[in-house]
Amino acid sequence: INRATVAPELPGAEAFVRACRARGIGCNAGHSYATFSQMEAARGWGVTHVDHLYCAMSDRARLRAEQTYPMRGGVMEATLYFDDLTTEVIADGKHLQRELLLLAYKIKSPERLALVTDCNRALDMPDGSYIFGPKEDGEPILRRDGVGIMPDGKSLASGVVGMIEGVRTFYTLTGVPLVE
């Protein structure tokens, strides 16, 4: 194990991160609804990276559902704010529009931003039903229109294109030089 992902707001997250770091395992925050202050604390434990920016993470709007005022920042805002946090974007043309890719690139720079596929076994397969996770008891998803979605069609489930398509899409949408 080289890296592990944790949601900093969950019980035991700090102990998990500290145990990973003691063993030389890097830690990411991901699939998290942490507040800005919880993300700030997680940096102190050793979290250095945030999984797939803008996706499956808290932001001001999502946190407002729990607390009307004052509005709070979440994982998204902390990722953009803290220069020492690296992150990644899913550049398949379905998860994020051009302006979100450009904002991530502008704020994080090529040194702190990576492309990721977030792909599953529906990679480059035809539209249809697939299983996300273990074949025996994984979650059913649909591959439709170049992206994985949940069966109810209301949320994204994963990417379904490979890295070369992500690079092409990022370049096409942003115009960022390939060397970067």
Per-residue pLDDT of the chain (180 residues; tens, 9 = 90+): 999 999 999 999 999 999 999 999 999 999 999 999 999 999 999 999 999 999 999 899 988 888 889 999 999 999 999 999 999 999 999 999 999 999 999 999 999 999 999 888 899 899 999 998 898 999 999 999 999 999 999 999 999 999 999 999 999 999 999 999
pLDDT of residue 66: 86
pLDDT of residue 68: 85
pLDDT of residue 73: 93
Pick the closest to residue 114 from 48, 69, 60, 57 (CA basis): 48
pLDDT of residue 90: 96
| Structure tokens given for 70 | 């004052």
Query: Within 10 Å of residue 49's Cβ, how many Cβ atoms?
Result: 19
- Strand-strand pairing, 139-144 and 128-132: antiparallel
Give pTM, 2 decimals.
0.92
Largest CA distance in the chain: 46
- One DSSP character per residue, the chain reads --EEEE-TTSTTHHHHHHHHHHTT-EEEE-SB--BHHHHHHHHHHTEEEESSTTSSB--HHHHHTT--SS---BHHHHHHH-TT-EEEEE-SSSSS-HHHHHHHHHHHHHHHEEEE--B-TTTTPPSEEEEES-TTT-EEEEEETTEEE-TTSSSEEEB-S-HHHHHHHHHHHH---TT-
